[in-house]
Structure 1
Amino acid sequence: MLKAEVEQWLKQLHCDGISPGIHELLYYRSKINAFARHHKSLPRSSQTGPLLSKSRGRGMEFDEVRHYQPGDDIRSIDWRVTARTGKAHTKLYREEKERPVFIWVDLPLTQFFGSQFIFKSVQACHLAAALAWQAQHKGDRIGGLVGNGWLHQELKPVARQKGVLRLCHALLEVHGDSFTRWKNKEKQKPNALEENLKRLRQLVKPGSTIYVISDFYGASENFLDGLRVLSQHNSVRCFSVYDPMEHELPEGYSSHPLAITDGQQQINVNLANTQQRATYQQAALKRWQNIQEAFRKRKLSLTSVSSALPLEQQWTEVT
């Protein structure tokens, strides 16, 4: 985007690109119809996307127990009631009308970077809000998990706008905590993704839609294997938020070397040095290819979202 376009967009949303405000997250409520026009109607594979049938797996929720009748599915027998009463009882289910949607937003200190438009962390919050408003418009219940390794907010699914607003306030609270730690130059806590995955698995019930928003810098093999297990009974879709400078450094001149860090190690790069920039780009490309391959091997959906463009300019690719 041109500098003038960036300034105009930020002014329109009253956004500084560094710390999100509630008005920015409410903005996406007005974009539902525009986003819907970009919504793809082609069927997806069994492990990707939000277009899966609402009856994934059983697609039903428990309603009541009654006496067993000939022809009932023996897999539905309630053995506890049967043992207590001495007579066979079977569980009855009704079709779920509101599908629970869980939005998990990972806000580690590595998300606090942006070279052209807004911080990755801000884009992550925008994406979460947009997905939540879209799901609420469809009549789904909104829940989720927002965490950074120190602070986390667990949200059970709630219907209507209340569910979205709870998520938005959780985003602002955890983002504010991360922002303070980032300014104080704290080091990222290890294994934050794995810890929050355990929390999410306690919240989610089979048949849910789960959106995972992160930059996946802390994605271990154990974490990815855990996501794979979660995807066996739920629709899981992952979004990787990135900044273009994480893939390629711009050519230019600087009186001082550019300090680059992954949160653990730091190196200095001279932007005028072609070899240093090429080495950086090769390492960045290898990291991204490794991430893609790790997700592909586990049949997990992964979509890239840039922090250098407004979300609505990427919505066709996002959906």
Structure 2
Amino acid sequence: MKALDWLTTLHSNGVELGIAELLYYQSKLPAFANKRKKIPRTVQAGTSLSKIRGRGMEFDEVRQYQPGDDIRAIDWRVTARTGQPHTKLYREEKERPVFVLTDFSPSQYFGSQLLFKSVQSAHLAAALAWLAQKRGDRVGGIVANVQSHRELKPMARQRGVLHYLHSLVDLHQQGLADWRQGQSGNHSQVLTEILQRVDRLARPGSQLLLISDFYDLNENTAERLRVLAKHYPIEAFWIIDPFEFELPHAVGLDPLAVTDGKRQRRIIAGDKQQQQRYKNYAAQRQQHVIQQLNQAGIPLHQVNSGLALEQQWREVSR
């Protein structure tokens, strides 16, 4: 499918974000599942949910004691009140809380090909949220831009996903408006704030899915990630744009104007020395991000904003 046809199918222009293009991924789950079957399964960290009764994490009910019940589970209050021994029943927790963490820093509002990185981040967040909901997990998380954030406690079934998707749209469009007006502010705090807040919001057994372009990955945020990784299973998704790794091919030495909305520089894309310096800088940054995430023991997936998500799902879901 051609890029323009794909965008039309999603009701998207690649820059702004609407709820329809996020609902689209619910219908893509079977296709994603088929692609994922081709990938060897990995060990799943954290707790999972079933109706099996036993000594689990979640209280189920109290009933009269029966021979063979674990005496450690006797409910002494009910036993004293009724005069008959009663035991507590538990069930293993399977509805694992999944926190999708989406970073809408100003650097995300950029795209040289198919989508803005911010839009691809939202698409990925939607796909991951729908997949978690289909597994029976409870979906919540944090969405943040420079101006504001939303903390969403995990909820079961479609309610949690829809709540999260509407927050994605609202905060993305708010961040886009600020970016267009040159009111981006100090974006270096967005990723740090997300990590601070999820540490207070999550509880043992939660899974964290972090979506960012990691332009703000400094020693402070790297240390916070290392601390979080000791308590929760985390997967990181690095949103990249092709332009960030290589200058566009050009013939001649005519300068190209490049701006971030505030500053403007001119680059000569046809200058081979400048191309090489640009690639070297990109490689150093890439190595920095990979090294920091590896030191924290966090799996890292690269997601290209210049390609449709389903074209790269096998690599994303490894």
TM over 0.5: yes
Structure 1 counterpart of 2:131:
134
The answer to whether the 8 Å contact 2:102/2:122 transfers is: yes
2:192 pairs, out of 181, 191, 194, with: 194
Q: Pairwise mapping of residues 291-302 of structure 1 onto structure 2 (< 5 A)? A: 291-302=289-300
The answer to whether the 8 Å contact 1:239/1:305 transfers is: yes
Paired amino acid for 1:154:
E
Q: Is the partner of 2:57 in helix, strand or coil?
A: strand
**Structure 1 residue 65: Cα displacement:** 11
**Structure 1 residue 250: Cα displacement:** 1.2
| 1:192-231 per-position Cα deviation (integer Å, ceiling 9, x unaligned) | 2112211111111111111000001011222122122222
Bigger relative contact order, structure 1 or 2, given CA contacts below 8 A and separation 6+?
1
Structure 2 counterpart of 1:277:
275
**Structure 1 residue 95: Cα displacement:** 1.2
The answer to whether the 8 Å contact 2:48/2:94 transfers is: no
| 1:208-258 per-position Cα deviation (integer Å, ceiling 9, x unaligned) | 111000001011222122122222222100000000000001121585423
Structure 1 counterpart of 2:256:
257
Q: Is the partner of 2:315 in helix, strand or coil?
A: helix
Q: What TM-score do you get using the length of structure 2 for normalisation?
A: 0.83
Paired amino acid for 2:197:
R
Determine whether 1:31 maps to 2:24.
no
Structure 2 counterpart of 1:15:
12
Q: Pairwise mapping of residues 154-233 of structure 1 onto structure 2 (< 5 A)? A: 154-189=151-186, 190-233=188-231
Q: Is the partner of 1:23 in helix, strand or coil?
A: helix
Q: Is the partner of 1:155 in helix, strand or coil?
A: strand
The answer to whether the 8 Å contact 1:258/1:271 transfers is: no
- Size of the aligned set, in residue pairs, is 290
Paired amino acid for 1:249:
L
Determine whether 1:122 maps to 2:103.
no
Q: Which has the larger radius of gyration?
A: 2
Q: Pairwise mapping of residues 9-158 of structure 1 onto structure 2 (< 5 A)? A: 9-39=6-36, 42-44=40-42, 51-52=44-45, 54=47, 60-63=56-59, 72=72, 94-158=91-155
Paired amino acid for 1:110:
S
Structure 1 counterpart of 2:85:
none
Residues 225, 71 of structure 1: alpha-carbon distance in 2 compared, 3 angstrom cutoff: farther
Distance in 1 between the 2:167 and 2:296 partners? 30
Over the matched positions of the two proteins, sequence identity in percent amounts to 42
Paired amino acid for 2:159:
K
Instruction: Give ranges in structure 2 of 5+ residues lacking alignment.
Output: 50-54, 63-68, 74-87
**Structure 1 residue 70: Cα displacement:** 9.7
Q: What TM-score do you get using the length of structure 1 for normalisation?
A: 0.83
Distance in 2 between the 1:138 and 1:276 partners? 48
CA root-mean-square deviation: 2.7
